[in-house]
Structure 1
Amino acid sequence: MIRRGLMTMCAAAVLAGGAVAGAGSADAIPLPPLPNPLPQLSPHASQVALIKSFNTRSKAITAAIPGRIGLSITPVGGDEAMNFGTVRTARAWSTLKVPVSIAAERANGKKVVADIRPAIRASDNDAAERLWASMDDDKTAVADVTAVLREGHDSVTRIRSSLSRPSSYPGATNWTLEQQSVFGAHLPCLPDSSRVLGYMRTVESNQQWGVKTMRKRGVTTAVKGGWGPVNDATGKYVVRQLGVVTTPRGAFAVSMAALPSSGSFEDGIAMLNRVGGWVGANLNKLPVGGC
């Protein structure tokens, strides 16, 4: 579209110049023929193919394990997410420990590292609560964690706490897959993220699902899982994963979520493992970037 526009402008300039030169002149230069129009290729052709592929895989996944799944992918350093599936948002649960850990380290320095490690690697709730408390009161903690999200280009998410109406808790924060994916895409670019990312690369067995099941040469994965009730009125679980996948081509962030009809944690993991398998099978087709 841009090249055609330039050609049209150039042709217009030639036409105008020819008209002036040819006015009352026998030496007017004949105009060259206009070039054939450039073919119009859809800029979203690859996305359409990926969405079609994911939809096929999604039908197979939910036929085997009834429920709903969602996936959002953003190249590192970018803000344009590709969204797949039918799940668009859910409670953050322990995926929120990533920005909480960064905010706590910024506020307290190395003295909270002993809690960051288990909060990320083992998803230890007691350690995460100490990190939250280390930022003084709820008002300060909400502000500090929100600042990390905004720096990570998530301009939407509002952290839940005892100050919320009705009163709530941080893990119940609604974090859309798209906004989480965008935050993940900027996570490696944040100045204080290296420690957290290091722990995300070495999570314990209770979080080794989704893209963490990939075994590809030259590919590394940093992940944080989250799981808990879909809402206060049900015992059914949502299972989530925030991840950064680094390949020889570049890196991208993923946010995925499963809502199994059974509501079981195990079924949610099984669904995300199959989503992770689709990501691994399409590594060379997914958009990548860098800081």
Structure 2
Amino acid sequence: MPSFSLRLAAAAVLAVALPFTATACGGGAGDKLVIGTKFDQPGLGLTNPDGTMSGLDVDVAKYVAKELGYPEDKIEWKESPSGQRETLIQNDQVKYIVATYSITDSRKEKVSFAGPYLITGQSLLVGADNSDITGPESLQNNKKLCSVSGSTPAQRIKDKYPGVQLQQYDTYSACVEALKNGAVDAVTTDEVILAGYAAQTPGAFKIVGKPFSEERYGIGLKKGDTELCTKITDALKKMEADGAWKAAFDKNLGPAGITAPAPPAPDAC
């Protein structure tokens, strides 16, 4: 029979090991996979009144989770505002983030990306009766433009259109509310995001001008985690090949009047 000291040592080893088994990536019983997404973007990442999640980003995240061994009831959703995404990944508060997350060189210094799974472009949302805003150049005549702190669209406006009065809020839903109330003249972000808001309130808003950037949406994860990045990339390729990607796009963004483009070839890993 083992001595008391040996049994005590064995218990201590077990106590240390247990916290790691609870967060394993194998999808076993009791495991939870924490995924970051937006909670306020219709058509992409939205918390519904009944507490469920919907949107293209959500469907992509769930498909990837399933391929990693996690059924939907093992997913824990974490709200991931634009300005907090890198911090959430670096602090291990999420396993990965699917949240209209543009792949950029500056972000790749802090996190890794799998993808892209969608290519879109920056555009403008205005009131349905607006006739004097036709593109970014027309904003430089003292127009108030809203975007989100820490976002690629906000930085692009700062860099390329310094004459615009840029208002930065924490969320795009706050920007849309400001547009609705007349506090700003336009909202800027990627066209698919704006389309979701326009579809949510039919007849209130419209998208103007042509997209003036190319945004490659990727799935953000811990920098240097090549194994997970490769698994996610493989899952995205499978989702596109079996038709699930197009079905998710049509379901979530089709009602906004956007036709599904050809899916991009995931290549970030």
TM-score by length of 2: 0.29
Task: Give the structure with higher Rg (CA).
Answer: 1
Choose between structure 1 and 2: higher helix proportion.
1
Choose between structure 1 and 2: higher strand proportion.
2
